[in-house]
Amino acid sequence: MLHRTGSAGQASASMAGCAVTVSLLLLFQPLQSGADSGNPGTIRLLPEISLRINDRAVLSETMALRPAEMQEPDTVILRFIGDVMLHQAQIDNAWDGKGNFDFSGYFDDIRDDLASADVAVANMEFTLAGEPYSGYPAFSAPDSYAEYAAQCGIDVFLTANNHILDKGEKGLVRTLSVYRGLEGKYGTKMTGSAADEEEAGTNYPLFLNVKGLKIALINFTYGTNLTSGKKYPGTNLTVKEDILKALQKAERLGAGLVVALPHWGEEYRTSHSPVQEETAVWLAENGADLIVGTHPHVVQDTCILDTRRGGRVPVIYSLGNAISNMSAANTQTGLLLEVRIPVDAFGEAGEAVPYFTFLWSSLPGRLSDSHTVVKVKDYISRKDEWKQEYEYSKMVSTYIRIKELTGIKD
Protein backbone atom coordinates (compact mmCIF):
# COMPACT_ATOMS: atom_id res chain seq x y z
CA MET A 1 0.00 0.00 0.00
CA LEU A 2 1.08 3.53 -0.69
CA HIS A 3 1.52 4.76 2.86
CA ARG A 4 3.80 1.85 3.65
CA THR A 5 6.22 2.57 0.81
CA GLY A 6 6.11 6.34 0.35
CA SER A 7 9.03 7.31 2.57
CA ALA A 8 11.34 4.76 0.99
CA GLY A 9 10.29 5.97 -2.43
CA GLN A 10 11.18 9.54 -1.54
CA ALA A 11 14.62 8.50 -0.41
CA SER A 12 15.25 6.55 -3.62
CA ALA A 13 13.98 9.33 -5.82
CA SER A 14 16.62 11.71 -4.52
CA MET A 15 19.34 9.56 -6.09
CA ALA A 16 18.26 9.95 -9.67
CA GLY A 17 20.26 11.85 -12.26
CA CYS A 18 22.03 14.44 -10.20
CA ALA A 19 25.57 15.81 -10.43
CA VAL A 20 27.42 16.85 -7.30
CA THR A 21 30.20 19.44 -7.27
CA VAL A 22 32.63 19.10 -4.40
CA SER A 23 34.97 22.07 -3.86
CA LEU A 24 38.05 21.86 -1.72
CA LEU A 25 38.71 25.50 -0.90
CA LEU A 26 41.40 25.17 1.74
CA LEU A 27 44.11 22.67 2.34
CA PHE A 28 45.47 23.00 5.86
CA GLN A 29 49.23 22.37 5.87
CA PRO A 30 52.06 23.66 8.07
CA LEU A 31 54.41 26.11 6.29
CA GLN A 32 57.94 24.95 5.48
CA SER A 33 61.05 26.75 6.66
CA GLY A 34 62.79 29.16 4.27
CA ALA A 35 61.27 31.91 2.23
CA ASP A 36 57.81 30.79 3.18
CA SER A 37 58.56 30.39 6.83
CA GLY A 38 56.42 32.14 9.36
CA ASN A 39 54.71 31.48 12.58
CA PRO A 40 53.94 27.79 13.25
CA GLY A 41 50.33 26.95 12.46
CA THR A 42 50.02 29.49 9.67
CA ILE A 43 48.06 28.11 6.72
CA ARG A 44 48.25 28.85 3.08
CA LEU A 45 45.56 28.80 0.42
CA LEU A 46 45.90 26.39 -2.48
CA PRO A 47 44.10 26.81 -5.82
CA GLU A 48 40.45 25.63 -5.72
CA ILE A 49 40.11 22.00 -6.68
CA SER A 50 36.78 21.08 -8.24
CA LEU A 51 35.73 17.44 -8.55
CA ARG A 52 32.65 16.58 -10.61
CA ILE A 53 31.00 13.31 -9.67
CA ASN A 54 28.45 11.70 -12.00
CA ASP A 55 26.04 9.80 -9.79
CA ARG A 56 24.62 7.88 -12.73
CA ALA A 57 28.02 6.54 -13.77
CA VAL A 58 28.98 5.64 -10.21
CA LEU A 59 25.66 3.89 -9.56
CA SER A 60 25.88 2.03 -12.89
CA GLU A 61 29.33 0.73 -11.98
CA THR A 62 28.11 -0.29 -8.53
CA MET A 63 25.07 -2.08 -9.95
CA ALA A 64 27.25 -3.94 -12.47
CA LEU A 65 29.19 -5.53 -9.60
CA ARG A 66 26.02 -6.95 -8.03
CA PRO A 67 24.66 -10.44 -8.88
CA ALA A 68 22.55 -10.55 -12.04
CA GLU A 69 19.30 -11.12 -10.14
CA MET A 70 19.92 -7.93 -8.14
CA GLN A 71 20.38 -5.84 -11.28
CA GLU A 72 16.80 -6.35 -12.44
CA PRO A 73 14.52 -3.27 -12.37
CA ASP A 74 12.13 -2.93 -9.47
CA THR A 75 8.42 -3.15 -10.31
CA VAL A 76 5.72 -0.76 -9.15
CA ILE A 77 2.27 -2.35 -9.07
CA LEU A 78 -0.82 -0.18 -9.43
CA ARG A 79 -4.32 -1.63 -9.10
CA PHE A 80 -7.56 0.11 -10.04
CA ILE A 81 -11.21 -0.71 -9.48
CA GLY A 82 -14.13 1.11 -11.07
CA ASP A 83 -17.31 2.63 -9.70
CA VAL A 84 -17.83 2.10 -5.98
CA MET A 85 -21.55 2.79 -5.58
CA LEU A 86 -23.97 2.79 -2.65
CA HIS A 87 -27.57 2.48 -3.75
CA GLN A 88 -30.49 2.60 -1.34
CA ALA A 89 -30.80 -1.20 -1.38
CA GLN A 90 -27.18 -1.43 -0.24
CA ILE A 91 -27.81 1.03 2.58
CA ASP A 92 -30.88 -0.92 3.70
CA ASN A 93 -29.13 -4.30 3.51
CA ALA A 94 -26.05 -3.10 5.44
CA TRP A 95 -28.09 -1.52 8.27
CA ASP A 96 -27.96 -3.68 11.40
CA GLY A 97 -30.89 -1.98 13.11
CA LYS A 98 -28.66 -0.75 15.93
CA GLY A 99 -27.17 2.33 14.38
CA ASN A 100 -24.37 0.64 12.44
CA PHE A 101 -23.70 -0.41 8.84
CA ASP A 102 -21.95 -3.65 7.96
CA PHE A 103 -20.05 -3.55 4.67
CA SER A 104 -17.58 -6.24 5.67
CA GLY A 105 -18.46 -8.68 2.88
CA TYR A 106 -18.06 -6.23 0.01
CA PHE A 107 -14.36 -6.62 -0.83
CA ASP A 108 -13.47 -9.89 0.92
CA ASP A 109 -12.45 -11.57 -2.33
CA ILE A 110 -10.21 -8.74 -3.55
CA ARG A 111 -9.03 -7.29 -0.24
CA ASP A 112 -5.57 -8.87 -0.51
CA ASP A 113 -5.18 -7.52 -4.06
CA LEU A 114 -5.96 -4.01 -2.88
CA ALA A 115 -3.80 -4.19 0.23
CA SER A 116 -0.76 -5.69 -1.53
CA ALA A 117 -0.64 -3.14 -4.37
CA ASP A 118 1.92 -0.35 -4.16
CA VAL A 119 -1.00 1.95 -4.99
CA ALA A 120 -4.69 0.95 -5.09
CA VAL A 121 -7.17 3.41 -6.65
CA ALA A 122 -10.98 3.48 -6.65
CA ASN A 123 -13.67 5.79 -8.06
CA MET A 124 -15.88 6.77 -5.12
CA GLU A 125 -19.17 7.64 -6.78
CA PHE A 126 -21.10 9.17 -3.89
CA THR A 127 -20.92 11.98 -1.37
CA LEU A 128 -20.33 11.79 2.38
CA ALA A 129 -22.84 14.53 3.09
CA GLY A 130 -24.20 13.06 6.30
CA GLU A 131 -27.75 11.99 7.18
CA PRO A 132 -30.22 11.29 5.77
CA TYR A 133 -28.35 8.66 3.77
CA SER A 134 -29.62 8.11 0.26
CA GLY A 135 -28.95 6.29 -2.96
CA TYR A 136 -29.75 7.20 -6.55
CA PRO A 137 -30.26 9.85 -7.84
CA ALA A 138 -28.59 11.92 -5.08
CA PHE A 139 -26.08 9.77 -3.22
CA SER A 140 -25.04 10.29 0.41
CA ALA A 141 -23.21 7.40 2.05
CA PRO A 142 -22.32 6.81 5.71
CA ASP A 143 -18.78 7.85 6.59
CA SER A 144 -18.11 4.24 7.61
CA TYR A 145 -18.39 3.16 3.96
CA ALA A 146 -15.35 5.22 2.97
CA GLU A 147 -13.52 4.11 6.11
CA TYR A 148 -14.19 0.48 5.23
CA ALA A 149 -12.71 1.07 1.77
CA ALA A 150 -9.59 2.60 3.34
CA GLN A 151 -9.27 -0.34 5.73
CA CYS A 152 -9.38 -2.70 2.74
CA GLY A 153 -6.25 -1.10 1.29
CA ILE A 154 -7.48 1.56 -1.12
CA ASP A 155 -4.80 4.26 -1.20
CA VAL A 156 -6.42 6.88 -3.45
CA PHE A 157 -10.06 7.94 -3.67
CA LEU A 158 -11.11 9.49 -6.98
CA THR A 159 -13.79 12.17 -6.48
CA ALA A 160 -14.15 13.77 -9.92
CA ASN A 161 -17.44 12.24 -11.04
CA ASN A 162 -20.94 13.37 -11.90
CA HIS A 163 -22.33 12.56 -8.43
CA ILE A 164 -19.82 14.44 -6.27
CA LEU A 165 -22.11 17.50 -5.99
CA ASP A 166 -25.33 15.53 -5.47
CA LYS A 167 -25.79 17.24 -2.10
CA GLY A 168 -24.56 20.64 -3.22
CA GLU A 169 -21.62 22.68 -2.03
CA LYS A 170 -22.19 21.79 1.63
CA GLY A 171 -22.16 18.09 0.81
CA LEU A 172 -18.93 18.39 -1.16
CA VAL A 173 -17.18 20.32 1.62
CA ARG A 174 -18.17 17.68 4.17
CA THR A 175 -17.08 14.86 1.86
CA LEU A 176 -13.62 16.35 1.44
CA SER A 177 -13.36 16.89 5.19
CA VAL A 178 -14.10 13.22 5.87
CA TYR A 179 -11.49 12.15 3.31
CA ARG A 180 -8.88 14.39 4.95
CA GLY A 181 -9.63 12.68 8.25
CA LEU A 182 -9.13 9.26 6.64
CA GLU A 183 -5.79 10.40 5.24
CA GLY A 184 -4.66 11.23 8.74
CA LYS A 185 -5.89 7.87 10.05
CA TYR A 186 -5.01 5.47 7.21
CA GLY A 187 -2.84 7.44 4.79
CA THR A 188 -5.51 7.26 2.09
CA LYS A 189 -5.36 10.26 -0.23
CA MET A 190 -8.01 11.82 -2.47
CA THR A 191 -7.91 13.70 -5.74
CA GLY A 192 -10.35 15.14 -8.27
CA SER A 193 -11.99 17.82 -6.12
CA ALA A 194 -10.85 20.62 -3.82
CA ALA A 195 -12.29 22.97 -1.23
CA ASP A 196 -10.10 25.86 -2.36
CA GLU A 197 -7.24 26.81 -4.65
CA GLU A 198 -4.62 25.80 -2.09
CA GLU A 199 -6.00 22.27 -1.85
CA ALA A 200 -6.20 22.03 -5.63
CA GLY A 201 -2.52 22.92 -5.72
CA THR A 202 -1.71 19.81 -3.69
CA ASN A 203 -3.89 17.27 -5.51
CA TYR A 204 -4.20 18.40 -9.13
CA PRO A 205 -2.10 16.53 -9.97
CA LEU A 206 -1.76 14.30 -6.93
CA PHE A 207 1.89 13.28 -6.65
CA LEU A 208 2.95 9.95 -5.14
CA ASN A 209 6.48 8.66 -4.58
CA VAL A 210 6.74 4.89 -4.82
CA LYS A 211 9.96 2.87 -4.98
CA GLY A 212 11.83 5.83 -6.43
CA LEU A 213 9.13 6.53 -9.04
CA LYS A 214 7.26 9.84 -8.95
CA ILE A 215 3.65 9.30 -10.09
CA ALA A 216 1.19 12.06 -11.02
CA LEU A 217 -2.56 11.30 -10.93
CA ILE A 218 -4.84 13.63 -12.91
CA ASN A 219 -8.57 13.06 -12.27
CA PHE A 220 -11.40 14.98 -13.97
CA THR A 221 -15.03 14.56 -15.03
CA TYR A 222 -17.18 15.52 -18.01
CA GLY A 223 -19.60 17.28 -15.63
CA THR A 224 -21.70 16.99 -12.48
CA ASN A 225 -25.44 16.41 -12.04
CA LEU A 226 -25.68 19.52 -9.86
CA THR A 227 -23.32 22.47 -9.71
CA SER A 228 -22.28 24.90 -7.00
CA GLY A 229 -21.70 27.59 -9.63
CA LYS A 230 -18.21 28.09 -8.19
CA LYS A 231 -14.76 26.90 -9.11
CA TYR A 232 -14.11 26.26 -5.40
CA PRO A 233 -15.31 24.26 -3.68
CA GLY A 234 -15.62 22.21 -6.81
CA THR A 235 -14.40 19.32 -8.92
CA ASN A 236 -12.02 19.10 -11.86
CA LEU A 237 -13.89 19.32 -15.15
CA THR A 238 -12.86 18.20 -18.62
CA VAL A 239 -11.48 21.58 -19.62
CA LYS A 240 -8.42 21.09 -21.82
CA GLU A 241 -6.75 24.28 -20.66
CA ASP A 242 -6.89 23.12 -17.02
CA ILE A 243 -5.88 19.55 -17.84
CA LEU A 244 -2.95 20.78 -19.93
CA LYS A 245 -1.71 22.86 -16.98
CA ALA A 246 -1.85 19.75 -14.80
CA LEU A 247 0.03 17.69 -17.42
CA GLN A 248 2.67 20.40 -17.75
CA LYS A 249 3.01 20.64 -13.97
CA ALA A 250 3.56 16.88 -13.82
CA GLU A 251 6.35 17.16 -16.39
CA ARG A 252 7.88 20.23 -14.77
CA LEU A 253 8.04 18.55 -11.36
CA GLY A 254 9.62 15.40 -12.74
CA ALA A 255 6.83 12.81 -12.74
CA GLY A 256 8.10 9.54 -14.19
CA LEU A 257 4.56 8.23 -14.73
CA VAL A 258 1.52 10.39 -15.52
CA VAL A 259 -1.88 8.69 -15.09
CA ALA A 260 -4.96 10.41 -16.54
CA LEU A 261 -8.21 9.35 -14.84
CA PRO A 262 -11.17 10.70 -16.83
CA HIS A 263 -14.82 10.23 -15.84
CA TRP A 264 -16.32 10.10 -19.33
CA GLY A 265 -18.22 8.18 -21.99
CA GLU A 266 -21.76 7.00 -22.63
CA GLU A 267 -23.44 4.94 -19.95
CA TYR A 268 -24.13 1.24 -20.61
CA ARG A 269 -22.19 1.18 -23.90
CA THR A 270 -19.47 -1.48 -24.11
CA SER A 271 -17.52 0.40 -26.80
CA HIS A 272 -15.90 3.80 -26.43
CA SER A 273 -17.27 6.89 -28.14
CA PRO A 274 -15.52 9.14 -30.71
CA VAL A 275 -15.27 11.85 -28.03
CA GLN A 276 -13.49 9.47 -25.67
CA GLU A 277 -11.07 8.47 -28.41
CA GLU A 278 -10.31 12.07 -29.38
CA THR A 279 -9.71 12.96 -25.73
CA ALA A 280 -7.52 9.90 -25.20
CA VAL A 281 -5.31 10.77 -28.18
CA TRP A 282 -4.99 14.36 -26.94
CA LEU A 283 -4.06 13.18 -23.43
CA ALA A 284 -1.47 10.76 -24.77
CA GLU A 285 0.13 13.36 -27.02
CA ASN A 286 0.30 15.86 -24.18
CA GLY A 287 2.04 13.71 -21.63
CA ALA A 288 -0.26 11.00 -20.21
CA ASP A 289 1.48 7.61 -19.91
CA LEU A 290 -1.62 5.67 -18.84
CA ILE A 291 -5.34 6.45 -19.21
CA VAL A 292 -7.94 4.74 -17.01
CA GLY A 293 -11.60 5.72 -17.36
CA THR A 294 -14.81 5.34 -15.37
CA HIS A 295 -18.51 6.29 -15.62
CA PRO A 296 -20.30 4.03 -18.16
CA HIS A 297 -21.08 1.38 -15.45
CA VAL A 298 -20.03 -1.33 -17.90
CA VAL A 299 -16.64 -2.53 -19.09
CA GLN A 300 -15.51 -0.95 -22.36
CA ASP A 301 -12.80 -1.88 -24.83
CA THR A 302 -9.11 -1.03 -24.43
CA CYS A 303 -6.24 -0.09 -26.74
CA ILE A 304 -2.59 0.98 -26.90
CA LEU A 305 -1.88 4.37 -28.47
CA ASP A 306 1.45 4.93 -30.23
CA THR A 307 2.23 8.61 -29.80
CA ARG A 308 4.31 11.05 -31.82
CA ARG A 309 6.43 11.61 -28.74
CA GLY A 310 7.50 7.97 -28.94
CA GLY A 311 5.45 6.47 -26.15
CA ARG A 312 2.99 3.58 -26.03
CA VAL A 313 0.02 4.58 -23.88
CA PRO A 314 -2.49 1.97 -22.60
CA VAL A 315 -6.09 3.22 -22.64
CA ILE A 316 -8.70 1.45 -20.53
CA TYR A 317 -11.87 3.26 -21.52
CA SER A 318 -14.05 2.01 -18.66
CA LEU A 319 -13.49 -0.28 -15.68
CA GLY A 320 -17.23 -0.75 -15.17
CA ASN A 321 -18.77 -1.12 -11.72
CA ALA A 322 -16.79 -2.47 -8.80
CA ILE A 323 -19.74 -2.77 -6.39
CA SER A 324 -23.34 -1.60 -6.77
CA ASN A 325 -26.95 -2.73 -6.67
CA MET A 326 -27.28 -2.61 -10.45
CA SER A 327 -28.55 -5.70 -12.25
CA ALA A 328 -29.17 -4.45 -15.81
CA ALA A 329 -27.32 -6.15 -18.65
CA ASN A 330 -23.51 -6.00 -18.26
CA THR A 331 -23.60 -3.78 -15.14
CA GLN A 332 -22.55 -6.51 -12.70
CA THR A 333 -19.23 -7.10 -14.47
CA GLY A 334 -16.21 -4.92 -13.76
CA LEU A 335 -12.44 -5.01 -14.02
CA LEU A 336 -9.66 -5.19 -11.49
CA LEU A 337 -6.89 -3.54 -13.49
CA GLU A 338 -3.29 -4.23 -12.55
CA VAL A 339 -0.56 -2.13 -14.15
CA ARG A 340 3.08 -3.09 -13.71
CA ILE A 341 5.79 -0.49 -14.28
CA PRO A 342 9.48 -1.46 -14.24
CA VAL A 343 11.62 1.16 -12.47
CA ASP A 344 15.41 1.23 -12.83
CA ALA A 345 17.92 2.27 -10.19
CA PHE A 346 17.62 5.91 -11.30
CA GLY A 347 13.84 6.02 -10.76
CA GLU A 348 13.08 5.98 -14.49
CA ALA A 349 9.97 4.07 -15.56
CA GLY A 350 9.67 1.58 -18.37
CA GLU A 351 6.51 0.85 -20.34
CA ALA A 352 3.33 0.39 -18.30
CA VAL A 353 1.88 -3.08 -18.87
CA PRO A 354 -1.80 -3.74 -18.02
CA TYR A 355 -3.30 -7.01 -16.79
CA PHE A 356 -7.02 -7.68 -16.34
CA THR A 357 -9.14 -9.63 -13.89
CA PHE A 358 -12.91 -9.72 -14.43
CA LEU A 359 -15.05 -9.10 -11.36
CA TRP A 360 -18.69 -9.85 -10.58
CA SER A 361 -20.82 -7.72 -8.26
CA SER A 362 -23.27 -10.12 -6.65
CA LEU A 363 -26.48 -9.02 -4.97
CA PRO A 364 -27.70 -10.30 -1.57
CA GLY A 365 -29.22 -13.77 -1.44
CA ARG A 366 -27.49 -14.93 -4.61
CA LEU A 367 -23.96 -15.84 -3.49
CA SER A 368 -24.01 -14.53 0.09
CA ASP A 369 -26.32 -12.54 2.33
CA SER A 370 -24.50 -9.32 1.43
CA HIS A 371 -23.50 -7.43 -1.68
CA THR A 372 -20.07 -8.76 -2.60
CA VAL A 373 -17.57 -8.59 -5.45
CA VAL A 374 -15.71 -11.72 -6.56
CA LYS A 375 -13.22 -12.71 -9.26
CA VAL A 376 -15.12 -14.43 -12.04
CA LYS A 377 -12.45 -17.02 -12.87
CA ASP A 378 -12.24 -18.08 -9.22
CA TYR A 379 -15.98 -18.79 -9.06
CA ILE A 380 -16.69 -20.38 -12.44
CA SER A 381 -15.83 -23.79 -10.98
CA ARG A 382 -17.77 -23.18 -7.75
CA LYS A 383 -21.35 -23.37 -8.97
CA ASP A 384 -22.47 -25.30 -5.91
CA GLU A 385 -21.68 -22.31 -3.66
CA TRP A 386 -24.32 -20.11 -5.27
CA LYS A 387 -27.64 -19.78 -3.51
CA GLN A 388 -29.26 -18.75 -6.77
CA GLU A 389 -28.29 -20.76 -9.85
CA TYR A 390 -29.71 -18.07 -12.13
CA GLU A 391 -27.10 -15.54 -11.05
CA TYR A 392 -24.26 -18.02 -11.53
CA SER A 393 -25.43 -18.59 -15.11
CA LYS A 394 -25.79 -14.84 -15.62
CA MET A 395 -22.22 -14.27 -14.41
CA VAL A 396 -20.80 -16.84 -16.81
CA SER A 397 -22.78 -15.66 -19.85
CA THR A 398 -21.99 -12.00 -19.14
CA TYR A 399 -18.30 -12.79 -18.73
CA ILE A 400 -18.20 -14.54 -22.11
CA ARG A 401 -20.20 -11.78 -23.81
CA ILE A 402 -18.10 -8.88 -22.44
CA LYS A 403 -14.87 -10.59 -23.50
CA GLU A 404 -16.25 -10.99 -27.02
CA LEU A 405 -17.53 -7.41 -27.21
CA THR A 406 -14.40 -5.75 -25.82
CA GLY A 407 -11.62 -8.10 -26.88
CA ILE A 408 -10.16 -8.02 -23.36
CA LYS A 409 -8.17 -11.09 -22.37
CA ASP A 410 -7.74 -12.09 -18.75
pLDDT category of residue 16 using cuts at 50, 70 and 90: very low
Q: Of 38-42, 52-56, 299-303, which range is least confident?
A: 38-42
CA distance linking residue 354 with residue 315, whole number of Å: 9
Please choose, from the candidates 48, 49, 53, 47, the residue with its C-alpha nearest in 3D space to the C-alpha of residue 21.
53
What whole-number distance in Å separates Cα of residue 192 and Cα of residue 173? 13
In a domain, 63, yes or no: no
pLDDT at 380 over 50: yes
Q: Tell me the mean pLDDT in the region 311-340.
A: 98
pLDDT for 34:
41
Q: Given phi > 0 = left and psi -120 to 50 = alpha, else beta, which region is 41?
A: left
- Do residues 113 and 355 touch, judged by C-beta distance below 8 A? no
Mean pLDDT of 28-45: 42
CA angle 238, 353, 321 (to 5 degrees): 50
- Is residue 212 within 8 Å of residue 26, measured between CB atoms? no
Look up the domain containing 193 and give its range: 2-6+76-406
Looking at the DSSP bridge assignments, the partners of residue 323 are: 84
Q: Is the per-residue pLDDT at 245 higher than 60?
A: yes
Q: Is residue 25 a part of any domain in this protein?
A: no
* CA Rg value for the chain: 26
Q: Which of 38-52, 116-130, 161-175, 228-242 has the lowest mean pLDDT?
A: 38-52
Question: CATH number of the domain that 388 lies in?
Answer: 3.60.21.10
Is residue 389 one of the residues assigned to a domain?
Answer: yes
Tally of structural domains, the chain: 1
* pLDDT at 143 exceeding the cut of 70: yes
Distances in Å between the Cα of 385 and the Cα atoms of 24, 102, 279 are 74, 22, 43
Question: Is residue 156 a contact partner of residue 190, using CB atoms and an 8 Å limit?
Answer: yes
pLDDT-based confidence at residue 148 (cuts at 50, 70, 90): very high
Average pLDDT, the chain: 87
Residue 93 within a domain: yes
**DSSP helix, strand, coil percent of the chain (3-state; round to 5):** 30, 25, 45
- Assigned domain for 189 exists: yes
pLDDT at residue 26, rounded to an integer: 35
31 against 162, higher pLDDT? 162
70 lies in a domain?
no
Cβ neighbours around 351 below 10 Å, total: 14
Does 47 reside within a domain?
A: no
Q: Is 49 among the domain residues?
A: no
Span 396-407, pLDDT tens digits: 999 999 999 999
Phi, psi (degrees; rounded to nearest 5) at 217: -105, 125
Contact 362, 374 (CB under 8 A): yes
In this structure, what are the phi and psi dihedrals at residue 364, rounded to the nearest 5 degrees?
-60, 145
Nearest-angstrom CA–CA distance, 372 and 363: 7
**235 closest CA partner among 355, 310, 399, 125:** 125
Dist. CA 78–CA 339, nearest whole Å: 5
**CA separation for the pair 77, 117 (Å, rounded):** 6
Q: What's the mean pLDDT in 123-129? A: 98
Which residues lie closer than 8 Å to 354 by C-beta, 6 or more apart?
A: 302, 314, 316, 337, 338, 339
Q: Contacts from 373-380 at CB under 8 Å and sequence distance 24+?
A: 373/106, 373/107, 373/109, 373/110, 373/322, 373/323, 373/334, 374/109, 374/110, 375/109, 375/110, 375/336, 376/333, 377/410, 378/109
The tens digit of pLDDT for each residue in 52-80 reads 555 545 444 554 555 544 445 799 999 99
What's the whole-model pTM score?
0.84
